[in-house]
Structure 1
Amino acid sequence: MPTSQQTATAYHWVMSIQTPDGLMTTRDAVIDVPEGVTRQQIFHFVATQFAEDYGQTFTILFFGLQPNTL
């Protein structure tokens, strides 16, 4: 029985946020994204990481997502 291999593409994301008390922070990372994953799913994945560290209340100032290739 043949097995299917899921193809993944490396993406670089950047997100900047500001908390209600004025703290501003920016993070970035490269993640391998399997076929079929949407930009919205990646956005929520990244925003959840910020929420775990800074709480549920913050303003997203910037979100960028691009393939990690030149």
Structure 2
Amino acid sequence: MMTVVAIIAGRAPIMWSSGTGSEVMKRIAAPMVGGMVSATVLTLVVVPAIYGLWKGYGLPRRTTVEEKEN
């Protein structure tokens, strides 16, 4: 997360600039920022969810009193 925040913070001034050459730099910085955001979401949400589904992890089942007696 620290790396992603540092990269996005470094690219933010490029995205908001309006000087000479800013049109070219914005076209370079925009995919980098989008790639960092999508890679972070993929790493922190999608991959663990797929792994949990694959391994069959879930919430523990709640048992009733009748099931405990048997």
TM-score normalised over the length of structure 1: 0.28
Greater helix share, structure number: 2
Q: Which has the higher contact order (CA 8 A, sep 6+)?
A: 1
Greater strand share, structure number: 1
TM-score normalised over the length of structure 2: 0.28
